[in-house]
């Protein structure tokens, strides 16, 4: 009996001692929580996608508060969240334009040929290890959806024609698909840029034609048509210079294969407000498409069929008499 009592007392004593040590340690070595981390966590979208490079939103918030991560590191939240995080951290954040992923290939099963039938693992990385994959064009989308699997926002899918397609509304521009694609086919492009070359083939034109109906064949018609020096050619492939492109979409109209894609549904048209026009002719002089008519000191007007919506006249008009409206289709 005595032994049992002694054991109980010594166990209780040890428990009390360990408890006291732990209580002391938790006070003595407690890590102070930065209140800014909690405030930042509150304004994050909570997607926990890891696109910022940290383990979820909690990890990112702590990294920002401790100065290890930039205030604009949350791609899902974009500029609005970056501004709020910046104000918590006392940093001014400039608004950045939203970017959207684009798959730079239109070589689906209707447009492109295969060089063999692939029956291996349904994964683009695995398929690309077998002689670059089954596509005749060694640059083309393999359509096995490696990008789809990594997208945390269900913003990319494989179409009926077996090619990756991005849902513009759902894409947050996190860039996970860009990293995952073994063909380096996906690019993040500013939302306001409405024209893209959807091909990355550097093959000679003849070879492109043999493999795909919608590839860039290097004919340079787009280069000649562009009035704004917004296209250049690298390795036989057209490239849009987003800093110069004004979305006139003329290159896409000229491209004989359709390799240049334009969001024609968003094409604009200029409109001159008669009550403001002073007939100075500034707009007429700057228009590269002869889409404005009118005599000096008379009201000018736009010829909608010629206007490409490039917006140069809007910038030049000294009395703000011109606006760009979305074209009625």
* Positions that interact with ligand SF4 (CB under 6 A): 101, 103, 124, 141-147, 150-151, 153, 155-156, 164, 166, 171-177, 180-181, 183, 185-186
Residues in a beta bridge with 222: none
- The nearer residue to ligand SF4, 157 or 239, going by C-beta atoms, is 157
Please, are residues 291 and 312 in contact by the beta-carbon 8 Å criterion? no
Query: Closest distance between ligand SF4 and the C-beta of residue 148, in Å?
Result: 7
How far is 96 from 15, CA to CA, in rounded Å?
58
How far is 225 from 220, CA to CA, in rounded Å?
9
Query: Closest distance between ligand SF4 and the C-beta of residue 162, in Å?
Result: 8
- The nearer residue to ligand SF4, 52 or 166, going by C-beta atoms, is 166
Helix axis angle, 78-89 to 56-65, nearest 10°? 40
Query: Closest distance between ligand SF4 and the C-beta of residue 76, in Å?
Result: 8
- Residue 9: count of CB within 10 angstroms of its CB: 10
How far is 261 from 138, CA to CA, in rounded Å?
21
- The nearer residue to ligand SF4, 166 or 251, going by C-beta atoms, is 166
Query: Closest distance between ligand SF4 and the C-beta of residue 117, in Å?
Result: 17
- The nearer residue to ligand SF4, 87 or 138, going by C-beta atoms, is 138
How far is 190 from 196, CA to CA, in rounded Å?
11
- The nearer residue to ligand SF4, 199 or 249, going by C-beta atoms, is 199
DSSP state of 51: T
How far is 213 from 196, CA to CA, in rounded Å?
17
* Tokens encoding 209: 């034609």
- The nearer residue to ligand SF4, 69 or 101, going by C-beta atoms, is 101
How far is 202 from 313, CA to CA, in rounded Å?
37
Query: Closest distance between ligand SF4 and the C-beta of residue 150, in Å?
Result: 6
Query: Closest distance between ligand SF4 and the C-beta of residue 184, in Å?
Result: 8
């Amino acid at each position: 009996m005595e032994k049992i009592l002694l054991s109980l007392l010594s166990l209780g004593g040890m428990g009390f001692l360990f408890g006291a040590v732990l209580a002391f340690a938790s006070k003595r070595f407690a890590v102070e929580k930065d209140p800014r981390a909690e405030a930042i966590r509150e304004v994050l979208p909570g997607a926990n996608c890891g696109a910022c490079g940290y383990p979820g939103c909690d990890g990112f918030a702590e990294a920002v508060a401790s100065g290890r991560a930039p205030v604009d590191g949350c791609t899902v939240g974009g500029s609005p969240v970056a501004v709020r995080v910046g104000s918590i951290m006392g940093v001014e954040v400039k608004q950045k334009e939203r970017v959207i992923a684009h798959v730079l290939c239109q070589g689906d099963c209707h447009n492109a040929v295969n060089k063999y039938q692939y029956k291996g693992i349904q994964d683009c990385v695995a398929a690309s290890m077998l002689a670059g994959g089954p596509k005749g064009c060694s640059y083309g989308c393999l359509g096995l959806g490696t990008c789809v699997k990594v997208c945390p926002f269900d913003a990319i899918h494989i179409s009926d024609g077996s090619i990756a397609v991005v849902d513009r509304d759902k894409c947050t521009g996190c860039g996970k698909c860009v990293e995952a694609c073994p063909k380096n086919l996906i690019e993040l492009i500013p939302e306001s840029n409405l024209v893209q070359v959807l091909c990355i083939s550097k093959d000679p034109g003849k070879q492109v034609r043999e493999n795909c109906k919608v590839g860039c064949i290097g004919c340079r018609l787009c280069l000649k048509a562009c009035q704004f020096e917004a296209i250049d050619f690298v390795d036989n492939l057209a490239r849009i210079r987003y800093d110069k492109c004004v979305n006139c979409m003329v290159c896409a109209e000229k491209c004989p294969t359709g390799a240049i894609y334009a969001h024609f549904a968003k094409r604009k048209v200029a409109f001159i407000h008669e009550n403001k026009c002073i007939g100075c002719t500034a707009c007429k002089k700057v228009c590269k498409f002869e889409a404005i008519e009118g005599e000096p000191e008379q009201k000018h007007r736009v010829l909608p069929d010629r206007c490409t919506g490039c917006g140069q006249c809007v910038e030049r008009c000294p009395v703000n008499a011109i606006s760009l409206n979305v074209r009625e289709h």
